[in-house]
Structure 1
Amino acid sequence: MPARIPSWAWVSGLTAGAVAAVVVLAVQADRGPHPTAPVAHPRSAPSVSARPSATPKPPAPPAVPADSGTGRRIVYALAQKRVWLVDESDKPTRTFPVWPGTVSPDPDSYAISQRVPATTGSDGVQIEHIMYFAGKSGVFIAFSNAVDGSSPPPAASDTRTGGIRMGKDDGTALWTFGAKGTRVVVVE
């Protein structure tokens, strides 16, 4: 009877052969050509100056209107469609654009008279941070923001709305800043 080779010897031999084959192929691959990806080099116009250009600074926010009084207050500029939150030292802590309704308050000094956490706006949108401060011709005027952060759709020309909408983060900041009785100064 012929001698039998144990199975472990077969496995060891096959493994050694496979490792040797991989080494030979790796050496051949290392000596061959290597594919390269094309490198994109940005082309720019030659610079007149050797120094790098400065990154443009964002424009400074508009200054608080001069005719808005002094002290802690919310300032609403009708023509700029913008609100400022001004602290006790007369420094603006935040400013942001707003989307006014079709009825605007007259320039004057008012106070936050009522705060409502959330409701549905006259346009059917869920709104929050509603802060009433004025009324005109039977229309209540209030700051608010849409719960989903959207801007209001344009109102029909015959619709009378007094909501002054803002972005969600701005609405949250205004809600935090404007307790009941906080002064609201409306300027042209």
Structure 2
Amino acid sequence: MRQRAAERGRTVARSSSGIVAGLTAAAVAAVAFLAYQASANAPASVASTAGPKASVSASAEPTAKPKPSVDPLAVPAASGKGERVVYALKDRRVWLVDENGKALRTFTVMPSPVSPPPGVHQVTSRSGTVRGSDGVPIEHVVRFANVDEVAIGFSAAQDGSMASPDPTSKTGGVRMTREDGDAMWSFATVGAKVVVVP
């Protein structure tokens, strides 16, 4: 009887160890499969496979270096040097620039129907208070160019408006606010340089 019990115990132990071995093998296989799936689905930068590195595609690389930001109110680079008034036709903007190239003031203007040609000009005459060729009372007139017998100059309307003259008329008044007109009057005396850029 003891012998039968011992044989039964050995049989149970063998079948238990077989079950444990089978379960362990199944667990190892499952872990190995899950590890394979994880490495196959991981991004190239995280995967731990020893295979060749994936190359970066052209679309992932930056196409161009970002350009340094440019101050839109900075004095135009092609406007010369020294003390000057700079008038940018396209931007409808004026800068009053000191001898070191620093903008003392910048402001927008309302261009005249007749525009001055780009280049270097000189203040030729000034008037304190007059009536513009469009009939509007203006002040602080600073003339610097002539185009087809039309005098071109900066001025401020006495009513403070920057309304543009009739575009069909041949006038040369570049209008600005009264405050900007005061600054222009103080800065641009006869003989002062005026640089017109496109």
What's the secondary structure of 2:180's corresponding residue?
Answer: helix
Letter in 1 for 2:107: F
1:181 maps to 191
Distance 1:105 1:154 in 2: 16
Structure 2 unaligned residues grouped into runs of 5+ = 1-70
1:141 maps to 152
1:81 maps to 92
Structure 1 unaligned residues grouped into runs of 5+ = 1-59
Matches within 5 A, 1:115-126: 115-126=126-137
Cα deviation 1:7-51 (Å, max 9, x = unaligned): xxxxxxxxxxxxxxxxxxxxxxxxxxxxxxxxxxxxxxxxxxxxx
The alignment yields a C-alpha RMSD, in angstroms, of 1.2
Higher relative contact order (CA 8 A, sep 6+): 1
- CA 1:113–1:71 in 2, change beyond 3 Å: closer, same or farther? same
Deviation at 1:156, TM superposition (A): 3.9
1:3 maps to none
Distance 1:132 1:166 in 2: 14
Deviation at 1:153, TM superposition (A): 4.1
TM-score (norm 1): 0.66
**How many residues were matched structurally?**
128
1:70 maps to 81
Aligned identity (percent) is 51
Distance 2:153 2:127 in 1: 10
TM-score (norm 2): 0.62
Deviation at 1:152, TM superposition (A): 2.1
1:165 maps to 175
Question: 1:101 touches 1:155 (CA, 8 Å); kept in 2?
Answer: no
Question: 2:127 touches 2:139 (CA, 8 Å); kept in 1?
Answer: yes
Which runs of at least 4 in structure 1 moved beyond 4 Å after TM superposition? none
